[in-house]
């Protein structure tokens, strides 16, 4: 793995953790960021970024760390999100996926996240399936808000970001060839009148 890809993985991980500090309830950009990291860097990188970002975000959350079952559910969900971005990218390498497909991916991944984190309450509170059904009923509004907002974010924001990121030289070099450039080659070229 090239140094540039490792650096980009660190950047996406840090961005996902930082962007998770938003003050809005059930409206978040972490899922979209992790999905985008997988789409740009590949399925394996997206999986790793999802695990690292969610572990760091949840473990050092300002409200305190979650219980182990909830943490595992969160990490697994975000690993799936990053992996899904990479798998989808395999079908759309020269193109940007249609907005409806990205929106559908956002809805499905958010549904899985909400389902797994709610299932974890069975192990946390030891209430069994009646407690799980009660949690679904009381949290229905927040689940719906989370799924609607992520569907919109994936459908409206991700196509724009994918187009912009594909224009970056560093990302083009990662996808077009596997040649690792030396530090000298990474320096911007200064030619003739370029400083005027």
Ordered domains of the chain (ranges, CATH)? 3-175 (1.10.1760.20)
With 80 as the cut, is the pLDDT of residue 23 above it?
A: no
**What is the pLDDT, as a whole number, of residue 191?**
45
Euclidean distance between CA atoms 41 and 9, whole angstroms: 8
Separation between Cα atoms, residue 90 and residue 79, nearest integer Å: 17
The lowest-confidence range among 33-37, 106-110, 132-136 is 132-136
97-111 pLDDT per residue, tens: 999 999 999 999 999
Query: Could you tell me how far CA 179 lies from the centroid of its own chain?
Result: 27
DSSP tag of 29: S
Of 85, 91, 72, 101, the C-alpha closest to 44 is 85
Q: What is the DSSP letter of 62?
A: T
Q: Which of 19-23, 53-57, 60-64, 122-126 has the lowest mean pLDDT?
A: 122-126
- How far are the Cα atoms of 45, 46, 83, 178 from residue 80, in angstroms, in the given order? 12, 9, 5, 26
In this prediction, residues 151-169 reach a mean pLDDT of 91
Q: What is the pLDDT of residue 2?
A: 81
């Amino acid at each position: 793995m090239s140094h540039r890809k490792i650096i980009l993985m660190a950047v996406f991980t840090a961005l996902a953790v930082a962007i998770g500090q938003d003050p809005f309830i059930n409206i978040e950009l972490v899922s979209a960021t992790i999905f985008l990291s997988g789409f740009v860097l590949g399925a394996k990188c997206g999986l790793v970024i999802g695990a690292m970002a969610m572990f760091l975000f949840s473990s050092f959350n300002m409200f305190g760390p979650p219980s182990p079952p909830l943490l595992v559910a969160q990490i697994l969900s975000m690993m799936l999100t990053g992996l899904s971005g990479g798998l989808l990218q395999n079908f759309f390498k020269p193109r940007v996926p249609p907005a409806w497909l990205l929106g559908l991916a956002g809805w499905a991944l958010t549904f899985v996240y909400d389902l797994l984190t709610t299932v974890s309450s069975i192990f946390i509170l030891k209430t069994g399936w009646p407690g799980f059904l009660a949690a679904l009923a009381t949290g229905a509004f927040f689940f719906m808000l989370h799924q609607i907002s992520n569907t919109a974010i994936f459908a409206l924001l991700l196509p724009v970001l994918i187009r912009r990121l594909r224009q970056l030289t560093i990302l083009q070099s990662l996808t077009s060839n596997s040649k690792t450039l030396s530090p000298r080659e990474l320096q911007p070229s200064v030619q003739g009148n370029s400083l005027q």
